[in-house]
Amino acid sequence: MAHRVTGVLIFFFLFVHVLDTALVRVSPEAYDDVVATYKTPIVALLEYGLVAAILFHALNGLRVVAVDFWSKGPRYQKQMLWTVMGIWIVLMAGALYPVLGHAARVLFGS
């Protein structure tokens, strides 16, 4: 279920990304305004959520492939899920400062 949810979220991000990038041809000033809103702390939290969704979707996708194509995959799917979750948590902890560092400096000062 989480794999499908992250897939849909990533799809909607890509849809919005294509639309806002296409805006540069219609109105460069409007594009600049939209990009300026992306530099807010709230959007930084959304970016962190996007990183979380992409990482989980990618790691879980590898697990799904292993379950489908490895003869012992179904037997070890629970262990692989916990491995995916562990790797995901470590990677998300590592992404905390690079993604949210600017937002923290804006909110709390440098």
Q: What is the mean pLDDT of each run of 10 residues along the chain (110 residues)?
A: 92 92 89 88 92 96 95 94 97 93 84
Domains and CATH numbers, the chain: 2-108 (1.20.1300)
Q: Other CB atoms closer than 10 Å to residue 33's CB: what's the count?
A: 11
**Taking the model in full, what pTM does it have?**
0.84
Cα gap 87→109, rounded to integer Å? 32
**Cβ-proximal residues to 24 (8 Å cutoff; 6+ apart), any chain:** 31
Res 80: pLDDT: 96
Res 6: pLDDT: 94
